[in-house]
Copies of this chain bind each other. A is one copy, B any other.
Amino acid sequence: MIKITFLPDKKNIEVNEGTTILEALKRVGINIDTPCGGKGICGKCKVLVVEGITAASIEKEFLSEEEIKKGFRLACQTKIFQDTIIEIPSKIRLDFKKVFSSNLKGDINRIKNNFSLSTNVKKVFLDLKKPSLDDQRSDWGRIKDGLSPKKIENISNLKISVEILKKIPILIRRANFKITVTLYNNEIIDIEKGDTTKSSYGIAFDIGTTTVAGYLVDLNTGEELSAIAKTNLQNIHGDDVISRIEFTQKRKENLEILQREIVNILNEIIKEIVQQAGVNINNIYKITIAGNTCMHHLLLGFNPSYIAPSPYIPVIKESLNLKAKDIPRLVLEPTANVFMLPNISAFVGADIVGGILSTSMWREDKTVLFVDLGTNGEIVLGSRERLWTCSAAAGPAFEGAHISTGMRATGGAIDKVKIVNKFIAYRVIKDVKARGICGSGLVDLIAELLKLGLINKSGKLIDREECKPELSEEIRKRIIKGPKGNKFLLVKGKETESGNPIFLTQKDIREVQLAKAAIYAGIKILLKEVNISPEDIQEILLAGAFGNFIDKESAIRIGLIPDLPLEKIFSVGNAAGRGAEIVLLSEKTRKICERISKDIKYIELSSRADFQEEFIKAMSF
């Protein structure tokens, strides 16, 4: 065992040799910002090794030589083999004040919300008089009287549920009439033995088609205590929302199956996250949920059948203020508050409302373009004056589907590509042998080939002979003729896991063209609606996992987004999850979400005659 000391906290921990700094930090209870989840691909978790020797490796990609010399290392990649003292820079530490009210998360500094902490959850400790023949107040009457001097708003109209009343008689006597009452607005949602006023928590969820993320926060301080993301296990029924909807239509019980699956994931996240943070699950008093419209409907057991076919009708768009008991099998106390952020339309969901909220674009003077890139690209354009939105069916190319060697952005996926002179440099997630290419790698590769002229404006991968004379032979000979057009050799068989080479085919390029054309045409339609040109956009925000990892320059080069100076383009990460967290911590933002959902102008692309035209125009590079 070796000892690590963290500064400035002076917290010590003993760990096994070879433990990473990030693991040690988690165990000692210090949370730092790890946008990439500790994969070594974002370079954000920079800590200073004050005493003790650690080797630098991947750091060279992210840190300057001088920084490395000073002792800066990436916490997620650095393993410790001797007693070490490490300083954690305050700017990467996660606590409420920073995460929530300042521009912290590296590139995602567009998340600059200044919302006051107002959770509407209040815990009050009461030391009550015991009953006697002279004082025959009911148990509830006694508690109510105890609360009355405690400055509770609207106390004359206090509500209490059957669930809580059931607990009371035994509980207050076991507690010797010393209890903590938890109120949410003017409703009693919990009564506990003794003084538990310090334990008050909530979880914000973002339910995506692919990934479900949960963020545990302390409702007393606003601090984020823990975050967990898990795969949405519904993916066995199809990768996208359309296939999930089709699944519900096959048999009556399938809707319940999908509902149960989402609830199971939420339950797993809840159980793990409270364990991680050492929090009592019964002290989770509220959760907020942002998700796309289909996930929203499936979670609540609403039939999503009319989302998919034209005219694309959801059951409800408004936000819903529920209790945990409204969602069958959810592991929370039945009285816990569940707030579902509002949707905008069948294909622009509560996740986008969360994104608009957390990026502050609803109150910006600037004209901002927000793009959440996925199977559906949700696009928002506008300023505080007015917002417009649409959903463009990009297809699954950016998720790696329909691509010859495409894959999701997981271990073995090539997620970055650069071609310098005769060399092709690529990065593989988890630093293993390459298995395939994911969306951001694909965009990089096509951008590089465009730059070198190997792909022409129409998207054709040219013949070797057509290449510019200055192109190196090594690159040129990677173009291989085939019956269905040319293909480009990215990785040779000896460098891949399977032993098979990784190619980019002409068909792959066509798939990317279709995807980017859909997004760009959507952007163009919104620009027309707002009556501005691309140059009038003052800021572009890229949301979602793909939006977080995509190379901005490559995205511009392939024509996925308008050509803006790079410093005006920001990756905002999980803006939806952050939105759900804001709503959890700042209750007044519920109304803001409702207003965003109501006031935004939704443009139905399928009813626009000019969409096809813009789409075809956007196909070329």
Contact of A140 among B312, B315, B322, B327 (CB under 8 A): B315
Knowing A300-B162, A301-B162, A302-B166, the reply to whether A315 touches B133 (Cβ < 8 A) is no
Contact of A138 among B169, B315, B604, B606 (CB under 8 A): B315
Q: Does A134 contact B (CB under 8 A)?
A: yes
Contact of A300 among B134, B166, B311, B604 (CB under 8 A): B166
A304 CB → nearest B CB, Å:
8
B contact residues around A168 at 8 Å (CB): 315
Contact A165 B316 (CB under 8 A): yes
Contact A136 B300 (CB under 8 A): no
Chain B residue nearest to A163 in the complex (CB)? B326
Q: Does A55 contact B (CB under 8 A)?
A: no
Most buried by B among A306, A313, A318: A313
Q: Does A154 contact B (CB under 8 A)?
A: no
C-alpha spacing A140/B313, complex, angstroms: 10
Q: Does A314 contact B (CB under 8 A)?
A: yes
Contact B311 A602 (CB under 8 A): no
Chain A 563-592 interface residues, beta-carbon cutoff 8 Å to B? none
B contact residues around A469 at 8 Å (CB): none
C-alpha spacing A313/B177, complex, angstroms: 14
B contact residues around A166 at 8 Å (CB): 300-303
Knowing A141-B316, A313-B139, A317-B141, the reply to whether A169 touches B302 (Cβ < 8 A) is yes
B contact residues around A140 at 8 Å (CB): 315-318
Q: Does A531 contact B (CB under 8 A)?
A: no
C-alpha spacing A604/B303, complex, angstroms: 56
C-alpha spacing A316/B159, complex, angstroms: 12
B contact residues around A315 at 8 Å (CB): 138-140, 165, 168-169
A296 CB → nearest B CB, Å:
11
Interface size classification for chain A: 35 or more
Q: Does A78 contact B (CB under 8 A)?
A: no
Q: Does A345 contact B (CB under 8 A)?
A: yes
Chain A 286-303 interface residues, beta-carbon cutoff 8 Å to B? 300-303
A433 CB → nearest B CB, Å:
48
B contact residues around A310 at 8 Å (CB): 133
Chain B residue nearest to A169 in the complex (CB)? B303
Q: Does A131 contact B (CB under 8 A)?
A: yes
Chain A 488-519 interface residues, beta-carbon cutoff 8 Å to B? none
B contact residues around A316 at 8 Å (CB): 138-141, 160, 165
B contact residues around A326 at 8 Å (CB): 161-162
Contact A133 B604 (CB under 8 A): yes
B contact residues around A162 at 8 Å (CB): 300-301, 320, 322, 326-327
Contact B345 A136 (CB under 8 A): yes
Contact B300 A165 (CB under 8 A): yes
B contact residues around A322 at 8 Å (CB): 162
Contact B169 A136 (CB under 8 A): no
Contact B133 A314 (CB under 8 A): no
C-alpha spacing A317/B139, complex, angstroms: 9
B contact residues around A283 at 8 Å (CB): none
Q: Does A458 contact B (CB under 8 A)?
A: no
Knowing A316-B140, A316-B141, A322-B162, the reply to whether A134 touches B607 (Cβ < 8 A) is yes
A560 CB → nearest B CB, Å:
27
Per-residue 0/1 for A152-173: is the Cβ within 8 Å of any B Cβ (1 yes, 0 no)? 0000000011100110111001
Chain B residue nearest to A255 in the complex (CB)? B166
A137 CB → nearest B CB, Å:
8
Knowing A162-B326, A165-B316, the reply to whether A131 touches B311 (Cβ < 8 A) is yes
Q: Does A305 contact B (CB under 8 A)?
A: yes
A440 CB → nearest B CB, Å:
33
B contact residues around A134 at 8 Å (CB): 607
C-alpha spacing A369/B138, complex, angstroms: 26
Q: Offer 18 A-B interface pairs, CB within 8 angstroms, sorted by A.
A: A132-B311, A133-B311, A133-B604, A133-B607, A136-B313, A137-B313, A138-B315, A138-B318, A140-B318, A141-B316, A141-B317, A160-B316, A162-B301, A162-B327, A165-B300, A169-B302, A169-B305, A170-B305
Tell me the A residues contacting B by CB distance below 8 Å: 131-141, 160-162, 165-166, 168-170, 173, 300-303, 305-306, 310-318, 320, 322, 326-327, 343, 345-346, 602, 604, 606-607
The 4 A-B pairs of least Cβ separation, nearest first, read A140-B316, A133-B607, A138-B317, A133-B311
Q: A138-B343, A141-B318 are in contact. List 6 more A-B contacts (CB 8 A).
A: A135-B311, A138-B316, A161-B326, A162-B326, A166-B301, A166-B303
